[in-house]
Chain A
Amino acid sequence: MIKLFERRRRITMQRIKKKKSPFIYKSYSKKPKHTWLRKRKAAERRFRFVGFIAIVISSLFLISLAWNIFSSGRSAFIETQIELPITFQADLIEKKAYRTIIQNALLDVFPDVNTRKEKRLLFVLVSRNAPYELKKIIEKNPELIGTKKDIWVLASSAVSIFYKQRLLEESKRIGNINVVQSAWITLLSQSKRMRTAFNFAFFTNGDSREAEQAGVLVSVIGSFMTILICVLMAFPLGVATAIYLEEFAPKNWFTDFIEININNLAAVPSIIFGLLGLSIYLNFFGVPRSSSLVGGMVLALLILPVIVISTRNALQTVPSSIRFAAAALGATPTQVVFHHILIYALPGIMTGVILGVARAFGETAPLLMIGMVAFIADVPKSFSDPATTLPVQVYLWANNPELGFVEKTAAAIMVLLGVMVLINLLAVYIRRRYEIKW
């Protein structure tokens, strides 16, 4: 290796002495290069270099974004629990005073807490919704009534952030835990009364104002319901429009006008579709506000132009020989389209639809106008029930004052990105698998 370099260097020095360019161009002919060729090659290399740098810069942006989200969101998948010696007093359970039961258990652990102010600080260590979980436990195991048992209950998000920060170094902030509370937490963790666990609740709960309880289930279900309505409406309408415009419509000023409008529609800001939905669907047709039905209908308007354009492109790529052959065998124009052209164009159409769906999946702005940007805690049971979507959930959590929602927001973004990647992979798969190269 070194010998090779040595030889190279010697040759280069000789060339410099002879006042030749020190660069040796390997070429097929031994004739001297013209300068214009050299210039062209340099321009080629320059362009490739610039292109490469562009890719590096954009992937750096992407990586830093992904890292940012991942690093602040991963702690959301861990929840913190506190073990409390719960006394299942029959009289309290009868009065449904589950909160008192938990508070009594906390006072059992810290018997020297007396003043009202101190009690208040102590009680907020446990999640506000812990009593409702306790209620579920009791309903499931009625034999517990009258006994005493250690039960793991959910800690509040402030405690969770503090605990994760100190023990696991998962979070950068300590939040608003004061000195007294931090001493209690230390005591709890020393007596092995604190633990962390995987946060299943994030996937099984709906929205909550208690960060430790908040989950994405309601918004994920809402998203899929909305998308279902959206596809059911946009797919037949869009494909029918495209087929008619491409295959049957006479070429005149009117169809040209429609075509221009469809192309323009694809570039309209999405909030405009929300306004349209508000004035037509809600105020005129009386579709229930905040429902996944109206959400899907608005998003259908949004992706309709995308579907029309991609379907027309897909139809155009089917070679005319197919058309002629079918017609020559006696097929009517409708048969030509539905028996032959549409079948061949289907992979292209599906790709267009899926990409349209991916766009609809990430929209919030049009949903703002039709009341889907709302606090909705119950799982929607029908298409007329109030629903919200995943990107809306991200938006709402990002606005909440509690520190615990910072990690929840990032985690919801991770779920959203995951779904997006899946949708796009599906599009790629369908294209690869079924596309016909003519």
Chain B
Amino acid sequence: MKKTLPLLAVCAAFILPVQAHAGGEQIKIVGSSTVYPFITVAAEEFGNSTDFKTPIVEATGTGGGFKLFCSGLGEMYPDISNASRAIKKGEEELCAKNGVKDITEIKIGFDGIVLANTKEIDRYSLTKEQLFLALAKQIPSEGKLINNPNKNWSDIDPSLPNVKIEVYGPPSTSGTRDAFVELVMEPNCKDLPEFKAAFADKKIRKKVCHLLREDGHYIEAGENDNLIVQKLQSNPKALGIFGFSFLEQNGDIVQGSIISGTEPTFDNISDGSYGISRSLYAYVKDDNIGKTSGLQQFISELVSDEAAGEYGYLSEKGLIPLPINELTIMQRRVKSLVDQSVTK
């Protein structure tokens, strides 16, 4: 019995702090793994430059993030959820059902999706339509839908190189993949008469349009973009699909393909002329402002010129900043949100 007493004391010492834990003293952030590399930089800067604790950032994916975010109010649940797309209606409903009624959307910038290959061979110049014909599971041919027969790029357009179509890209669970099929596949596919004839229902047609081929020409290479870059090194003929920041970091070995005549550069994505880019968001719970310590300062920091501005530290990390007027709107939105909570 004498021996078990200290053991019990030790056990109690572990359990007690749990109950004493007041909560709300550290910002909790969940959400998209695309936003993760940027929001963590802001979190670290915030932790370094203020007396608040460094926020915890979990990369759960956009959908997983909203699921946690919308689970309820209180310090157990995240204060901010990042997303590489706008919140869906179903997610808003889930939030409302669990008492999370007021959410504020903060747009923090853009991310470009690039198709890149190694610098050992020439840069590709493709159009979105050619990409659709190269990667779709089914393509129209003589009024009917057939399984994609294109083997080489030159099968699509004789001006393209006579090289096997090989594209490494993310799996269907990835937000990058969602954005890619939405921006490249869908616009080329949904209005084609062959698809309209075969799939009258809009929803089903959309789903079919999002299908990528599975016969070895589109290769799912996992969620890790670094892995795709490595694969491009070992297979110089292949293209890879990944986020712009990875292109910037690996600019010594890979080059981004020109899409519809526009090169994926910082400026081209920023002014919207590069066709495959998406907005990145952070969603904040209004109720937690003023409750979670440091939250109002953190969101103010997130949209400040030093962070999200044209020469901010987030742009150093590869985030494409918002145009000045949009950033001002976001800054005003955050300010009014913070002011509201003060008057409350």
Which one, B21, B248, B253, B313, contacts A173 given CB within 8 A? B253
Tell me whether B148 is interfacial, beta carbon within 8 Å: no
State the Cβ distance, A389 to closest chain B Cβ, in Å: 14
In the complex, the answer to whether B311 meets A120 with C-beta atoms within 8 Å is: yes
Within 8 A of A (CB), among B284-332: 311, 313, 316-318
Contacts of A210 in B (CB 8 A): 44
State the Cβ distance, A307 to closest chain B Cβ, in Å: 17
Contacts of B317 in A (CB 8 A): 209, 401
In the complex, the answer to whether B11 meets A232 with C-beta atoms within 8 Å is: yes
In the complex with contacts A232-B11, A378-B54, A384-B18, A176-B41 CB distance below 8 A: no
In the complex, the answer to whether B17 meets A383 with C-beta atoms within 8 Å is: yes
Tell me whether A129 is interfacial, beta carbon within 8 Å: yes
Which one, A124, A174, A236, A286, contacts B76 given CB within 8 A? A286
In the complex, the answer to whether B18 meets A176 with C-beta atoms within 8 Å is: no
Q: Which of B55-63, B101-109, B204-212, B267-275 contacts A (4 or more CB under 8 A)?
A: B55-63
In the complex, the answer to whether A401 meets B252 with C-beta atoms within 8 Å is: no
Which one, B45, B76, B224, contacts A399 given CB within 8 A? B224
In the complex with contacts A176-B252, A384-B18, A386-B26, A401-B10 CB distance below 8 A: no
In the complex with contacts A176-B252, A401-B318, A374-B57 CB distance below 8 A: yes
- Please encode chain B, from 3 to 30, with 1 for each CB lying within 8 Å of some chain A CB and 0 for all others: 0000100110010011001000010100
In the complex, the answer to whether B251 meets A176 with C-beta atoms within 8 Å is: yes
State the Cβ distance, B110 to closest chain A Cβ, in Å: 16
Closest to A294 in B: B18
Closest to A229 in B: B14
- Please encode chain B, from 220 to 231, with 1 for each CB lying within 8 Å of some chain A CB and 0 for all others: 000111100000
Q: State the CA gap A229–B17 with chains docked (Å).
A: 14
Q: State the CA gap A132–B48 with chains docked (Å).
A: 7
Tell me whether A271 is interfacial, beta carbon within 8 Å: no
State the Cβ distance, A64 to closest chain B Cβ, in Å: 16
Which one, A287, A288, A290, contacts B58 given CB within 8 A? A290
State the Cβ distance, B174 to closest chain A Cβ, in Å: 12
In the complex, the answer to whether B18 meets A288 with C-beta atoms within 8 Å is: yes
In the complex with contacts A175-B252, A293-B14, A383-B17, A376-B37 CB distance below 8 A: no
- The contact size tier of chain A is 35 or more
In the complex, the answer to whether B40 meets A375 with C-beta atoms within 8 Å is: yes
In the complex with contacts A173-B253, A287-B18, A401-B245, A377-B226 CB distance below 8 A: no
Within 8 A of B (CB), among A362-419: 371, 373-378, 382-384, 386, 396, 398-403, 406
In the complex, the answer to whether A398 meets B48 with C-beta atoms within 8 Å is: no
In the complex, the answer to whether A402 meets B249 with C-beta atoms within 8 Å is: yes
Q: State the CA gap A129–B46 with chains docked (Å).
A: 12
Tell me whether A340 is interfacial, beta carbon within 8 Å: no
State the Cβ distance, B66 to closest chain A Cβ, in Å: 15
In the complex with contacts A176-B252, A375-B56, A399-B313 CB distance below 8 A: no
In the complex, the answer to whether A209 meets B18 with C-beta atoms within 8 Å is: no
Contacts of A293 in B (CB 8 A): 14, 18
Tell me whether B124 is interfacial, beta carbon within 8 Å: no
In the complex with contacts A132-B48, A377-B43, A377-B47, A176-B249 CB distance below 8 A: yes
Number of interface residues of B (CB under 8 A): 45
State the Cβ distance, B80 to closest chain A Cβ, in Å: 13
Contacts of B49 in A (CB 8 A): 132
In the complex, the answer to whether A384 meets B21 with C-beta atoms within 8 Å is: yes
Tell me whether A289 is interfacial, beta carbon within 8 Å: yes
Q: State the CA gap A375–B47 with chains docked (Å).
A: 12
State the Cβ distance, A211 to closest chain B Cβ, in Å: 10
Tell me whether B218 is interfacial, beta carbon within 8 Å: no
Contacts of B37 in A (CB 8 A): 209, 400-401
State the Cβ distance, A235 to closest chain B Cβ, in Å: 11
In the complex, the answer to whether A208 meets B249 with C-beta atoms within 8 Å is: no
Q: State the CA gap A374–B226 with chains docked (Å).
A: 19
Q: State the CA gap A323–B59 with chains docked (Å).
A: 55
Q: State the CA gap A236–B257 with chains docked (Å).
A: 60
Contacts of A431 in B (CB 8 A): none
Q: State the CA gap A265–B243 with chains docked (Å).
A: 40
Closest to B23 in A: A288
Closest to A128 in B: B313
State the Cβ distance, A80 to closest chain B Cβ, in Å: 18
Q: State the CA gap A398–B225 with chains docked (Å).
A: 9
In the complex with contacts A373-B58, A377-B47, A399-B40 CB distance below 8 A: no
In the complex with contacts A209-B41, A371-B58, A373-B59, A399-B47 CB distance below 8 A: no
- Return the 4 tightest CB-CB contacts between A and B, nearest first: A375-B57, A377-B54, A374-B58, A375-B40
Instruction: List 10 additional A-B contacts (Cβ < 8 Å) besides A176-B249, A375-B58, A376-B56.
Output: A116-B311, A132-B48, A132-B49, A236-B7, A290-B58, A374-B56, A374-B59, A377-B43, A399-B224, A401-B318
**6 CB-based A-B contacts, threshold 8 Å:** A132-B49, A375-B44, A377-B43, A378-B54, A399-B225, A401-B248
* Chain B interfacial positions (CB closer than 8 Å to A): 7, 10-11, 14, 17-18, 21, 26, 28, 33, 36-37, 40-41, 43-45, 47-49, 53-54, 56-59, 76, 223-226, 243, 245-246, 248-253, 311, 313, 316-318
